[in-house]
Chains A and B, each alone.
Chain A
Amino acid sequence: MIEIKDLHKSYKMGSNSLHVLKGINFSVDKGELVAIMGSSGSGKSTLLNILGMLDVADTGDYTLDGVPIKDMNETKAAQYRNKFLGFVFQSFNLINYKSAMENVALPLYYQRMPRKERQEKALKYLDQVGLKEWATHLPSELSGGQKQRVAIARAMAAEPKVLLADEPTGALDSTTSYEVMDLIQKINDEGNTILVVTHEEDIAHMCKRIVHLKDGVIVEDKKVKQVRASAYV
């Protein structure tokens, strides 16, 4: 599903250049649930942003579902993001003046799906995350866990090939964190490919594979026995 070869990325900080990713080689198969771990500054978020086409690598190859991702213009990247990728952010990133349902329907709007269909589908996904009765509420009326579930429903609504989650539990207490992880595991059980960036060990162990990043290189890549989050809920 994801193939990465010798990926480099550096940021310019004034006159200095900060080399964040120093040759990443890594691949993910369909249906995997991968945790990307590392301390802050290890480059894990940068990697996820590049995988998510929110950012571009300096050098290296990236193939997503057999499609080489390179020399993308903004429009093309936007269409690929819409078609292939779903995002879940630490800070939820819901649009604050839109209701839960409208937020979920937004990626479908950019797929030019008719309004009615869009709303039906959005409701279906809200139902899946257990928030159907909150459909008309604004994000400000939802709790943190609910917001993240809406964000997950939004990410899944476009039926992406890969779900990318950047510290999805970073802003949540542990109980809610496990609820969210439970949801992510269930989505994975249905055969969806998911990448989770986290620095929390317990969250990482709820995935099936852990990739450790340190100073811009992968130092460890191991399969783990998955801990089911439902056990804690």
Chain B
Amino acid sequence: MFSRDTWKEIFETIQKNKLRTFLTGFTVALGIFIFVSLFGMGNGLNNTFAKFFGDDATNVLYLFPGRTSIPYKGYKANRRIEFENDDLAAIEKDFEMFLEYVTPRITRSALVKYKEESDNYSTRAVAPPHLFAEKTIIMKGRYLNEMDIAGKTKYAVIGRLVEQDLFKDADAIGEFIDVGGSVFKVIGVFQDDGGDNEERRIYIPYTTRQLIEKATDKVDQIIVGFKPELGYAGAMAFESSISKYIRNRKYISPNDPNGLFIRNVADQLKQNQQFAGVLQIIISGIAFAVIISGIIGISNIMLFVVKERTKEIGIRKALGATPKNVTSTILLESVFITTISGFVGMLIGVGLLRFIGNALEEDYFITDPYINIGTAIFATILLVLCGTIAGYVPARRAARIKPIVALRDE
């Protein structure tokens, strides 16, 4: 059945029936190509999504003070809550075993000037561990350290785009900039995957900010980084115990929805992952539909091919072809064409994804589209297999018809 002669016969048939070969091959190649590129684009969409929401650390709680709405322990409602340095220290001490770090964040907008260039930027006064919460990447120079906090130094770490805006092509490190009336020395430049806004920020020591604002010890927000080992359930439990702790410390009713806000990224992350999951399901669904329509297409072609060859089959049978000869020739031919063209379609699809790369990132939110080679090969084999099965039924029927009936077929 698999002798060289059989293959030669098949190659000849393929070569001499170019249109038929092309039609069959094209259907399969197109099906696989669409599947691969769609699936890849879907993955790219997913990547963008992950990038949008994966820019910040996920083992982080953001604590925001609010305004009470329920009277509690002798305090009236509508009291404004404020965090202070003491709160930071207290959290650090009392939750030590759960914590990786604690950092304050004081956000102020400021006009920043360097020589003739100036613009408004948002400054964040923070402690060194803020680096981890925001996943800030230092491009050059260094980030703030504990000595800067202790010494209340006038050092600033500026975003990549701040440097670009103010310094053009020049190196910002060691230069002095005017931030809202105070002069800071640039000690580092950072980048951030979170997008342009994130890179138009300036980090300064929080103690310096407090000094500038008339030696206060107020803090806007507290950012708590907990140990990732806590997991999702642990993070939720940690959130509720820290909420209780702060409410107790600041005399906020446990039932007051407005006194304290906590943003738990772990919770959000879970939602995002669910969203991404739904996206993946939709993409898989479409890809599956493409494969199904590919299978239907190839089945139709096979039906057509066998129908077209009925007479030829009759002649061959009259000349001594056994039913097995007939079925195996038709099947080997179709498997050969579908396999080759399937892999060609796959390669073109993969090639296209490679070629696109990140070109669609800006406008279409498709980042690094790719398809797992295993998935692509699996889909190709599935299509070839289904094509074969779809071809087998009419091929067997053709092999069984009496030669006299086949010969009469015009």
A residues within 8 Å of B by Cβ?
49, 52, 54-55, 74-75, 78-79, 81-83, 87, 89, 93-95, 97-98, 102, 106-107, 109-112, 114-115, 154, 158
Contacts and interface: CB of A to CB of B under 8 A. Distances in A.
Nearest to A107: B319
Nearest to B20: A97
B320 A74 contact: no
A75 B324 contact: yes
B319 A82 contact: yes
A97 B323 CA distance: 21
12 contacts: A54-B402, A74-B322, A74-B400, A75-B324, A78-B321, A78-B322, A78-B323, A81-B318, A93-B318, A95-B315, A106-B319, A110-B316
A85 B400 CA distance: 20
Nearest to A89: B407
Given A55-B402, A98-B16, A109-B5, A93 B407 contact: yes
The list of the 4 closest CB pairs from A to B, nearest first, reads A82-B320, A97-B16, A110-B320, A78-B322
A78 B324 CA distance: 10
Given A97-B17, A109-B5, A54 B325 contact: no
Interface in B353-410: 399-400, 402-404, 407
Residue of A75, A89, A93, A94 most packed against chain B (CB within 10 A): A93
A158 B404 contact: no
Nearest to A76: B322
Contacts of B5: 109, 112, 114-115
Contacts of B400: 74
Contacts of A106: 316, 319
Contacts, number: 69
Contacts of B399: 74
Contacts of A54: 318, 402-404, 407
Contacts of B407: 54, 89, 93
Nearest to A160: B320
B76 to A, nearest CB: 97
Given A82-B319, A110-B319, 15 more contacts: A54-B403, A74-B322, A78-B322, A78-B323, A79-B322, A93-B311, A93-B314, A93-B315, A93-B318, A94-B315, A95-B316, A102-B12, A106-B316, A110-B320, A110-B325
B322 A107 contact: no
B313 to A, nearest CB: 10
B344 to A, nearest CB: 24
Nearest to B407: A93
A158 B318 contact: no
- The secondary-structure label for the interface of chain B is helix
Contacts of B316: 95, 106, 110
A81 B320 contact: yes
Interface of B: 5, 8-9, 12-13, 16-17, 311-312, 314-325, 399-400, 402-404, 407
Contacts of B318: 52, 54, 81, 87, 93
Contacts of A154: 319
A87 B324 CA distance: 21
B322 A87 contact: no
A111 B320 contact: yes
B139 to A, nearest CB: 67
Nearest to B6: A109
A107 B319 CA distance: 5
B392 to A, nearest CB: 17
Nearest to B323: A74
Nearest to B8: A115
B129 to A, nearest CB: 77
A111 B322 CA distance: 11
Residue of B12, B321, B402 most packed against chain A (CB within 10 A): B321
A11 to B, nearest CB: 11
A112 B399 CA distance: 19
Contacts of A111: 320
A119 B364 CA distance: 61
A4 to B, nearest CB: 18
